[in-house]
């Protein structure tokens, strides 16, 4: 586990990224229960609670994970954003995740949260690249990854996923 104890809170100008708590399962269902073509849907509260437990286990194991994204003005949960350990063919990496409530989209919250997460990861876990795996048709997510400072990595693509990475060029084999 890396010593990134400050990771339980990551502030931005408009947002507070906080380590999830059990009560966030309801927000997980509200936000991740929305059917969209490019995401896995959380079907009910039991599944949301199970997902929270997976996220919490990752936090306990690694000292980092997915944060609950709240507005600083009124503490409303607007989504989730964070990093999770993953293995890529080129080696260990951090998977960047962001999912915001549809009603909050278009306000720059996803890019703001993802940028803060990427900056935090690059500072506290500099040896691990940050990877965003995005389905090709999810144009908004592609823009968020770019605004967060990740570079397109076509050499990592599969039929199902486009990849973005920081630092640029990670995993490229000549």
CA 34 to chain CA mean position, Å:
17
- Determine the Cα–Cα distance for residues 150 and 141; give it in Å rounded to an integer: 12
Does the pLDDT at position 142 exceed 50? yes
| Domain-embedded: residue 147 | yes
| Domain-embedded: residue 31 | yes
Question: pLDDT tens digit string along 144-171?
Answer: 999 999 999 999 998 889 999 999 889 8
pLDDT at residue 174, rounded to an integer: 63
| Domain-embedded: residue 171 | no
Residues with Cβ within 8 Å of residue 114, at least 6 apart in sequence? 81, 96, 98, 132, 144, 145, 147, 148
| Domain-embedded: residue 173 | no
| Domain-embedded: residue 174 | no
pLDDT band of 3, cuts 50, 70, 90? very low
* pTM flag (> 0.85): yes
> For residue 150, how many other CB atoms are within 10 A of its CB?
25
CB 28 within 8 A of CB 18: no
Question: pLDDT tens digit string along 45-66?
Answer: 999 999 999 999 999 999 999 9
pLDDT at residue 66, rounded to an integer: 96
| Domain-embedded: residue 80 | yes
Tally the domains of the chain.
1
| Residue 39: closest CA among 68, 79, 89 | 79
């Amino acid at each position: 586990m890396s010593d990134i104890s400050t990771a339980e809170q990551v502030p931005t100008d408009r947002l507070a990224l906080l380590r999830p708590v059990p009560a966030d399962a309801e927000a997980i269902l509200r936000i991740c229960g929305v059917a969209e073509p490019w995401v896995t849907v959380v079907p009910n509260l039991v599944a949301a609670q199970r997902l929270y437990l997976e996220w919490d286990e990752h936090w306990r194991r690694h000292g980092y994970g997915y944060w609950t994204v709240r507005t600083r003005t009124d503490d409303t949960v607007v989504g989730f954003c964070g990093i999770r350990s993953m293995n890529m063919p080129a080696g260990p990496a951090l998977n960047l995740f962001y999912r915001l409530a549809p009603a909050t989209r278009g306000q720059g919250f996803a890019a703001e949260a993802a940028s803060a997460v990427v900056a935090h990861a690059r500072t506290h876990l500099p040896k691990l690249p940050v990877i965003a795996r995005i389905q090709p048709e999810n144009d908004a997510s592609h823009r968020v990854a770019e605004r967060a400072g990740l570079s397109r990595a076509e050499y990592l693509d599969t039929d199902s996923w486009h990849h973005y990475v920081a630092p640029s060029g990670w995993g490229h084999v000549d």
